Amino acid sequence: MTHYDLAVIGTGSGNTIVDESFDGWKVAIVEKGVFGGTCLNRGCIPTKMFVYPADLAYDAGHSAPLGVDTSFEGARWREIRDRIFGRIDPISASGREWRATGLPDVSLVEGHARFIDPHTLDVASDTGVETITAEQVVIATGSRPTLPDVPGLDDVPFHTSDTVMRIDDVPPRVLVLGGGFVAAEFAHVFSSFGSAVTIVNRSSLMLRAEDQEVAERFTEIARARWDVRLRTTITKVERLDGSETGVRAQLDDGTTVEADLLLVAAGRRSNSDDLGLQQAGVAVDETGLVVVDDHQRTNVKGIWALGDVSNRFQLKHVSNNEARVIRHNLLHPTDLASSDHVHVPSAVFSHPQVASIGLTEEDARERGVDVVVGRRDYSGTAYGWAMEDETSFAKVLADPHSGLLLGAHIIGPQASNLIQPLVMAMSLGIPAHEVARGQYWIHPAMTEVVENALLALPLTP
Ligand SMILES: Cc1cc2nc3c(=O)[nH]c(=O)nc-3n(C[C@H](O)[C@H](O)[C@H](O)COP(=O)(O)OP(=O)(O)OC[C@H]3O[C@@H](n4cnc5c(N)ncnc54)[C@H](O)[C@@H]3O)c2cc1C
Ligand SMILES: NC(=O)c1ccc[n+]([C@@H]2O[C@H](COP(=O)([O-])OP(=O)(O)OC[C@H]3O[C@@H](n4cnc5c(N)ncnc54)[C@H](O)[C@@H]3O)[C@@H](O)[C@H]2O)c1
C-alpha cells in the first residue's frame, strides 16, 4: 500500500491542480477512463470544433438575403471527425504519458477509485485492486449523461454526447431527446451537415433555463429549422426494422418518429455515486452533488471536491476556477481562497448562439428585485444592417439607482464573445453608465449592440 500526500480522483479539471508548486509532494492522480476528462475528450472542445465547420456549412446555404450566391455542397464528416480527434486524442495521450512517466513524485493510478475510509482508496482495474492512502483527497470525478426512464431504451441503439461525435457518417434523420445545451448544439451540427432533426423536449421551451424572451426567440428559430416537439416525451422506443442504428419512437402526443440515430440529451448527473462516499462520511445533497463550502472543502477534513461532481453549473470555466482555489488552499491552508459562484456566465454554441450571466427578468420578478431593463436588437445597429439580422438582441438588467448590472442575455451572432464586457462589468462592479460611456466602443463593430443595450437602461441619475 502506497501512502501519498495528495490523491486527486479524476483527470479533467482535477489534473490541472498539480503543477510545479507541488514539487516535493507525493501525489497520486487516479483515472478510470480516458485521460483528460469530459471537456477535452467528449465535451466543450470537440463540440466547438464541430460547431465551427457547421457554422460555415449553415452560412453557405443562407447567404442569398445578402445577395451572395453560395450553397452548401456537402460535408466530409469523416475528415472533419478525424481532424478533430486527430488533434485531441494525441493531447490526451501525451498528458497521460507525462503523468504516468514524466514526474518523479507523481503517480498515475489507473482504475475506478472508491473510498474505504476518509484516507484510504481502493482503485479497481482489470489488473486487480490497488489500495492507496492519502493525507488529502480531491474528488474531481465529474458528471455523466442522465438516461431517462424511457421504455425500450435498453434494447435500442442510442448515443449520448459521449459517443455521438465518433460516428462514421452523418445520419439522414436524427432524433434528439432533450432541449437543453447539448440538444441545441448537436441539432445545429447535424442539421447543418444535412440531417433532418426532430427534437422531443419535455419542457415548453428549448433552453428553458435562459431568460424567457431569449428561450422563446431561440425556440421560434429552432422550430423554423427543426421539427421541435415541445411538452412531449417519448413513451416507447423500439428498433427500426432493417436498420442497425435506427429507432422508432412513440411520443405521448400519439405520433411516431422514425430516425437513423437517437441522441439522448436529457441532462447530466454528478459522479458522486459508486465512490464509496458513505465510507468516508462525505455529505451529498438530494441531487447527488457533493456538498462543499466556499473553499471547496467537503464536510470531512482533508477531502475536497470540485467541478461537475459538486457544482450545479456544469461548466468548464467554473471547474477550472475551483481547481485553482483548491490548489491555493492545499498550498496555503491558513489563508484559504474562495470560489466565485456569483458571476458565472455561460454560452450555448448553437445557431444562433446564446450567452447569459446573472439574473433573468423572471428571476428578478420572482425574487422581488427592483430592476430596469435595457434592450437592443442587432437590427438597430449598423453591424446588424450589414448582416441583415432580424432575430438577434441583447438585453441587460440593472439596479435602477446604482446602475450596477444584475444580468445580461444575448441571442445572436458572436453572443459568447459580445457578453464578455458585461461579465467584466458585473464581476468588477462597474456601473452600466460607466461601462457605456467610460470607454470607446469601436464603430461600427457588433459590440455596439451591447453599448446600445446599456444606454437603453432607464437609470435614475
Ligand atoms: C457535450 C458537452 C459540451 C460541453 N461544452 C461546454 C462548453 O462549451 N463550455 C463549458 O464551459 N462547459 C462545457 N461542458 C461542460 C464541461 O465539459 C464540464 O463542466 C467539465 O468538463 C467538468 O469537469 P470536471 O473536471 O468536473 O469533470 P470531468 O472532466 O468529467 O473529469 C472527471 C474525470 O473523473 C474520472 N472519474 C469519474 N469517476 C471516477 C472514479 N470513481 N475513479 C477514477 N476516476 C473517475 C472520469 O473518467 C473523468 O475523466 C460541456 C459538456 C458536454 C457533455
Ligand atoms: N456550451 C456549453 O457550455 C455546454 C454545452 C453542452 C453541455 N453543457 C453542460 O452539460 C449540461 C448537460 O447538458 P444537457 O443538454 O444534457 O442538459 P440540460 O439540462 O441543458 O437540458 C436537458 C433537457 O432535457 C429535457 N428532458 C429531460 N428529460 C426529458 C425526457 N424524458 N423527455 C424529453 N425531454 C427531457 C429537459 O426539459 C431539458 O430541456 C448542461 O447543463 C451544461 O452545463 C454545456
Tens of pLDDT, residues 249-281: 999 999 999 999 999 999 999 999 999 999 999
Q: Of 3, 341, 401, 443, which one is the catalytic site residue?
A: 443
pLDDT at 444: 98
Tens of pLDDT, residues 426-443: 999 999 999 999 999 999
C-alpha cell at 156: 435500442
- Return d(Cα 242, Cα 250) in angstroms, integer: 18
Fold observed for domain 153-266: FAD/NAD(P)-binding domain (3.50.50)
User: Is residue 438 a known part of a binding site?
Assistant: no
Mean pLDDT to the nearest integer, 398-402 = 96
- Domain 352-455 -> CATH class: alpha beta
Return the half-sphere exposure (C-beta side, CA atoms, 13 A cut-off) of residue 82.
7
Within 8 A by CB and 6+ apart from 360, the residues are: 210, 211, 212, 407, 409
Ligand 2, residue 314: give the atom nearest the CA: 43
> What value does the mean pLDDT of the chain take?
97
Mean pLDDT to the nearest integer, 9-25 = 96
- Return d(Cα 377, Cα 354) in angstroms, integer: 14
Expressed in angstroms and rounded, the spacing between residue 266 Cα and the centre of ligand 1 is 16
pLDDT at 104: 87
Active site residue 443: yes
pLDDT at 102: 80
Tens of pLDDT, residues 79-128: 999 999 999 999 999 999 999 998 889 999 999 999 999 999 999 999 99
Q: Which of 141, 147, 176, 314 best tests ligand 1's pocket when mutated (most atoms within 8 Å of CB)? A: 141
> Would you state the torsion angle of the CA atoms of residues 312, 189, 45, 442, taken in this order, to the nearest 10 degrees?
-90
Ligand nearest to the CA of 353: 2
In this predicted structure, which of 19-23, 286-290, 319-323 has the lowest mean pLDDT? Answer: 19-23
Note the Cα 12 to chain centre separation in Å.
Answer: 13
* Same fold: 153-266 with 352-455: no
Mean pLDDT to the nearest integer, 288-295 = 98
Q: ipTM score of the complex?
A: 0.98
Q: Which of 175, 231, 268 best tests ligand 2's pocket when mutated (most atoms within 8 Å of CB)? A: 268
The dihedrals phi and psi of 325, each to the nearest 5 degrees, come to: -65, -45
**Which CATH number applies to 2-145+269-331?**
3.50.50.60
**Which amino acids bring their CB within 6 angstroms of ligand 1?**
9-14, 30-33, 37-39, 43-44, 47-48, 112-113, 140-142, 161, 182, 271, 275, 307-309, 314-317, 319
Ligand 2, residue 182: give the atom nearest the CA: 15
Band (pLDDT 50/70/90 cuts) for residue 192 is: very high
Domain ranges of the chain: 2-145+269-331, 153-266, 352-455
Any ligand 2 atom below 6 A from CB of 113: no
The C-alpha angle with vertex 351 and arms to 346 and 354, in degrees rounded to 5, equals 25
Nearest CA, atom 1, ligand 2 = 348
Expressed in angstroms and rounded, the spacing between residue 162 Cα and the centre of ligand 1 is 10
Tens of pLDDT, residues 1-15: 899 999 999 999 999
User: Do residues 411 and 217 touch, judged by C-beta distance below 8 A?
Assistant: yes
- Return d(Cα 262, Cα 54) in angstroms, integer: 20
The C-alpha angle with vertex 120 and arms to 299 and 3, in degrees rounded to 5, equals 120
